[in-house]
Chains A and B, each alone.
Chain A
Amino acid sequence: QKEVEQNSGPLSVPEGAIASLNCTYSDRGSQSFFWYRQYSGKSPELIMFIYSNGDKEDGRFTAQLNKASQYVSLLIRDSQPSDSATYLCAVGDGGTSYGKLTFGQGTILTVHP
């Protein structure tokens, strides 16, 4: 059974700090990796996706992927109170399952002023 594990939260950081969210996955054949943000009572919103080893940056967000270690992370620089949400790590199936995702349990992030 494919598993996706996220670092236990909740995570609390001060405004302006770097928030680091981590995720490990069990299926070595996984090819695509996603970070979604979910505000309370809302549906998930895509933040970043990464397919290749290394770093991918988009504004204040950086996704890091290490397939050898089966590890993916999300860094949020200059954290803002509006970043407070649950962050979901999702791993895509590398086979022919039409892009099915396995989600982690989520990490609650709180950015306090």
Chain B
Amino acid sequence: GAVVSQHPSWVICKSGTSVKIECRSLDFQATTMFWYRQFPKQSLMLMATSNEGSKATYEQGVEKDKFLINHASLTLSTLTVTSAHPEDSSFYICSARSSGQPQHFGDGTRLSIL
């Protein structure tokens, strides 16, 4: 149980393009989803917390106009990196949880901006 699917697993694209990453909870309804970013040899840094049907809460220093989060249903959240640049290259990981339960992580998306 508690399977979280993230797609795509890796993306390579040109600078200036927008990239959408999907996060789905496959066997449970996720009341909350989280988006993290992880740079090499560093720990996870929370970007934003997303609750179904409401606006995401962004962590300090994360540009909400650049990292658009949509949590349209209890099983799907999307992160769109708009006008991506090389410094946005990173490992993006989503997690999902239902009330009272631990977070379970997707497999991550490795984003490379050329």
Instruction: Give Cα A13–Cα B97 distance, bound, in whole angstroms.
Output: 34
Q: Does B46 contact A (CB under 8 A)?
A: yes
Q: Chain B's nearest CB lies how many Å from the CB of A94?
A: 13
Q: Does A28 contact B (CB under 8 A)?
A: no
Q: Contacts A44-B44, A88-B43, A88-B44 given; indicate if A101 touches B103 (C-beta within 8 A).
A: yes
Q: Contacts A44-B105, A45-B105, A46-B104 given; indicate if A100 touches B46 (C-beta within 8 A).
A: yes
Q: Contacts A34-B102, A43-B106, A43-B108 given; indicate if A99 touches B43 (C-beta within 8 A).
A: no
Size class of the A contact interface (CB-based, 8 Å): 20 to 34
Residues in B with CB closer than 8 Å to A99 are 32, 97, 103
A-B Cβ contacts below 8 A, count: 44
Instruction: Give Cα A100–Cα B34 distance, bound, in whole angstroms.
Output: 8
Residues in B with CB closer than 8 Å to A104 are 43
Complex interface residues of chain B between 10 and 48 (CB less than 8 A to chain A): 31-32, 34, 42-44, 46
Complex interface residues of chain B between 87 and 110 (CB less than 8 A to chain A): 93, 97, 102-108
Residues in B with CB closer than 8 Å to A88 are 43-44
Q: Does B51 contact A (CB under 8 A)?
A: yes
Instruction: Give Cα A98–Cα B105 distance, bound, in whole angstroms.
Output: 16
Taking a contact as CB atoms closer than 8 A, the residue among B31, B102, B106, B108 that contacts A98 in the complex is B31
B45 nearest in chain A by CB position: A103
Complex interface residues of chain A between 18 and 65 (CB less than 8 A to chain B): 32, 34, 36, 42-46, 49
Q: Does B77 contact A (CB under 8 A)?
A: no
Residues in B with CB closer than 8 Å to A32 are 102
| A-to-B contact residues, CB < 8 Å | 32, 34, 36, 42-46, 49, 88, 97-106
| B-to-A contact residues, CB < 8 Å | 6, 31-32, 34, 42-44, 46, 49, 51, 93, 97, 102-108
For the complex of A and B, 3 pairs with smallest distance between CB atoms:
A43-B108, A98-B32, A43-B105
